[in-house]
Amino acid sequence: MTEILVVGEGSAGSRICSVAHGIATQTGWRWARLRLSKSDTHAFAEAVAKCVQDAKIVLMGATAMGKDLMARVAEHLDVPLAQDCIGYRVAGSKVVFIRPLYGGKVLAEVHLAACPALATFRPRTQPAYQGAVAILEHVLTPSPHEMQVVWRKVGGGAALDVARADIVVSGGRGMQGPEHWHILESLAAALGPKAALACSRPVSDNGWRPRAEHVGQTGRVIAPAVYVAVGISGAVQHVAGIAGSKCIIAINKDPHASIFKVADYGIVGDLFEVVPALTAAVKALR
């Protein structure tokens, strides 16, 4: 019997393996990764539920797909589910999950009084797992369902998704228009292949940038190693999506902008001067 299962593949899954490994080390339980042949959430939830029903703990990355699938699996199994966890604690054979509430203003330690306990983890909050992984292969049979996919599109944006990037360069209304984005693109390019672009909500609402780049309470929640906020005032709804970043750098001409309250480093100045200067300095240091 394998007590802990990590559902799904990809780099998100490999970070979730760190959680499984960590819990396994403290409890003596075994863990494995469940490779799924298919991931259409509506069709395969029941099949996934059957695969995991005997485990004690089932984990998955808190991606859009991961959260949707686990919500369905949880209902099929009639068990509670803790979404978007950022940490865990083991006390004997009891596992406590840590998840942000109220847009990150409070953290909750939650215990799931059911078996299996289901949780999704924000991938970037966990280190990548480097060790060996036992893989369980399952061929899933879809359940009959009434959902038709009319079309599916992949990409249409940057090569690297913002939630996977180590460094995120993000622009706000202070950028004044999409025609100025090349200065952020140059900075991101200088920062290498692990850098991606993001934006505040008005920027995507105005159609300056694709919606996939919108971060915040109503957009994506990200936790890169470094978040660079350029011309962003730092509204609570924005900060809710980036507060998990390890280091926040803010560039704003208003010394009283709220973004400076959450920033590790703040540069007060005109972004049209500061960003090109930073790009040049980074290039010189490479």
Partner 1 sequence: MPVKIAICIKQTPDTEARIRIAADGQSIEEEGVSWIISPHDEAAVEQALQLKEAHGGHVTVVALGPRRVERSIREALAMGSDAGLHLVCEPMPADASVIAGALTKALRPRGFDLILTGEQAIDLAGSQVPQRLSIALGWPCVVAAETLSIKGRMVQARRPAEQKEALVRFALPGVVGVNRRIGEPRYPSFKGIMRAKRKAVEVDVAQLAEGRMIIERLHYPPAKAEGQVQSFGSGIEDTVARLLAGHIDTQV
CB 61 within 8 A of CB 15: yes
- Minimum CB–partner distance for residue 74 and ligand FAD (Å): 26
Q: List, in sequence order, every residue forming a beta bridge with 36; answer none if it has no partner.
A: 138
- Residue 278's nearest CA partner among 193, 195, 184 is 184
Q: Is 48 in the site for ligand FAD (CB under 6 A)?
A: no
Choose between 93 and 136: whose C-beta lies nearer to partner 1.
Answer: 93
Give, in order, the Cα–Cα distances in Å from 170 to each of 165, 167, 242: 12, 10, 10
Q: Which residue is nearest to ligand FAD (CB)?
A: 216
Round to whole Å and give the CA distance between 12 and 123.
5
Q: Read off the tokens for 8.
A: 């799904």
15 exposed, middle or buried (CB, 10 Å; 0-12, 13-18, 19+)?
A: buried
Three-state DSSP state, 170 = strand
Choose between 124 and 201: whose C-beta lies nearer to ligand FAD.
Answer: 201
Binding span for ligand FAD by CB under 6 A among 2-10, 76-84, 188-196, 234-242: 234-242
Which residue of 120, 233, 245, 279 would you call a contact of ligand FAD, by CB under 6 A?
233
Q: Is 231 in the site for ligand FAD (CB under 6 A)?
A: yes
Binding span for ligand FAD by CB under 6 A among 6-14, 37-45, 150-158, 197-205: 197-205
Q: In the complex, which residues of this chain contact ligand FAD (CB under 6 A)?
A: 172-174, 200-203, 216-219, 231-233, 235, 237-238, 241, 252-254, 257, 270-272
